[in-house]
Structure 1
């Protein structure tokens, strides 16, 4: 049976990749984009996609903009996910309100499976050596993390009362082509390819990278399996000191860049590990297929391809 799946943040790395997978599976997609969106080229050219323009502050109008019912919704849109915006109280409170409006609208449209786009920021700092499990008591220390968690807790009660299944993939460190250029992987990789010096932290914190295609396959399984609910940590399951991943990028690029470890100090709050326990996700039959090395090579192919088109 063909499902109708709504996706906000449709042109983001996660949103666009998920839409591509859903279309391959034969689903119909309602892609929610901002007014005057300039990134529509990221979406597949398919008759299975219906594009609806709607800014976040007007999500409450979606019941008027969308005809028919929605089976599944994935909420990927959230403003201010990086830099100082993560501690902008007003901005993050607006995100909470707009996503609550979205939840109300899609449930009114018949949605019976709702997926949030969770974040490791909901847990707060993790300085322990052991891997972080979903049942850890969260202590978010940014406005971003606090409001993400508040949305999940609101949705948990709201969905339960209305018979809507709630799933929250909590993303730790995704990477892949078309990722934000300021991430550690993207910014460091481009410097390495140009043999430029790289200023880094000591890179001794534990890290876990998950390639976008593996994350999307996990999302598909969570959507398809009606028995799945609650929080699922998203990581590859392999963690190591961050320096190991940097050195792998150096080997792959054969770079002559100077690596200035320790040039960037850790935050005043201390070093933070990105080290999720993913046993719950593995328990639904998912297994990551892309090693870090394979993922980096795919990103390099994409960078070279884009550069050749520009030139």
Structure 2
């Protein structure tokens, strides 16, 4: 049985990949900084580790000796990650992870890249057309590691893929992100202050994103591949869907928050490569995905006695 090491396994995307991996017959090894006693250790093998500690990282890889890595761990605090100095730390720790992976027989390294590696002025992002000219520290650091990792893997007989993630939503998302913020505001009967909402984006449910990474792992594809729906939609359209489903559309206050003058008008993926070169297919329509997300937040409120 092939062993897959998942970093950031208790995170938004990483956690969702675990069931997909198990269902495909992989042996899943999950890394987290959280208390592993809160997780079911009977099917997935959990390990508490600080990947920023190089010695811990090497010892863990030596013990597990994974065939494959899905690398999701990175600094991702909403409102801070774009310019955070921690991005530099994660480049260094990711390099150490890759070197340890090679040292102990690793075969295939799948990296969670980002649409923010592209020149966002293009609007529609195509792996073969759109240049990688990131303008945030987050994008620059992700791009730097991607470039180094591709060369390193090529030189050392390993395969490498960077799945550039676009926008996503779903259960377990950080409550400070736009969709959970609006859902919870409306459930509490409070005004949800938002920007004008005219930004065109590419949103996909987290289950579809996680499944995409596992299908990529299962394929022979390498290089850069976009992880997106390929469907353009405005932020306000999504928020209005939330409002309509909760019958509280009037609580969505557009234009209350100013946006940057240089904010991209459109960020959408060309996902032809994902659709045509892997066995992935999208499961969740936006309608169904929003419903599932709302239901999850309602369940959380009941569990927490709200």
Equivalent residues of 1:199, 1:261 under 8 A apart? yes
Matches within 5 A, 1:3-14: 3-14=2-13
TM-score (norm 1): 0.91
Is 1:292 the counterpart of 2:286? The answer is yes
Partner of residue 82, structure 1: 78
Aligned residue for 1:174? 168
Cα distance in 1 between the residues matched to 2:264 and 2:132: 18
Report the Cα distance in structure 2 between the residues aligned to 1:84 and 1:124, rounded to whole angstroms.
21
| Separation in structure 2 between the aligned mates of residue 127 and residue 189 of structure 1, nearest angstrom | 31
What are the Cα deviations for residues 24-45 of structure 1, in whole angstroms up to 9, with x where unaligned? 22221221222xx24753x4x2
Residue of structure 1 equivalent to 2:26? 27
1:196 — aligned with what? 190
Distance in 2 separating the partners of 1:256 and 1:120: 30
Aligned length: 302
Aligned residue for 1:106, secondary structure, equals helix
> 2:234 aligned with 1:234, yes or no?
no
Please list every run of 5 or more consecutive structure 2 residues that lacks an aligned counterpart in the other structure. Answer: none
Compute the displacement of 1:100 (Å).
0.4
Q: Distance in 1 between matches of 2:111 and 2:297?
A: 30
Per-residue CA deviation, residues 75-97 of structure 1 (Å, 9 max, x unaligned), is: 11112453234213x32211100
* Structure 1: tracts of 5 or more residues without a match: none
Which shows bigger deviation, 16-25 or 93-102? 16-25
Q: How far apart, CA to CA, are the structure 2 residues paired with 1:69 and 1:127?
A: 41
1:278 corresponds to = 271
Tell me: CA distance 1:24–1:78, structure 2 relative to 1, closer, same or farther (3 Å).
same
Q: 1:23 to 1:304 in 2, by over 3 A?
A: same
> Which residue is equivalent to 2:297?
303
The one-character-per-residue Cα deviations of 1:172-192 (angstroms, maximum 9, x if unpaired) are 111110011111111111112
Output aligned runs, 1:52-63, within 5 Å. 52-63=47-58
Change (3 A) 1:123 1:157: same
TM-score w.r.t. the length of structure 2 is 0.92
Which residue of 2 is the match for residue 245 of structure 1? 238
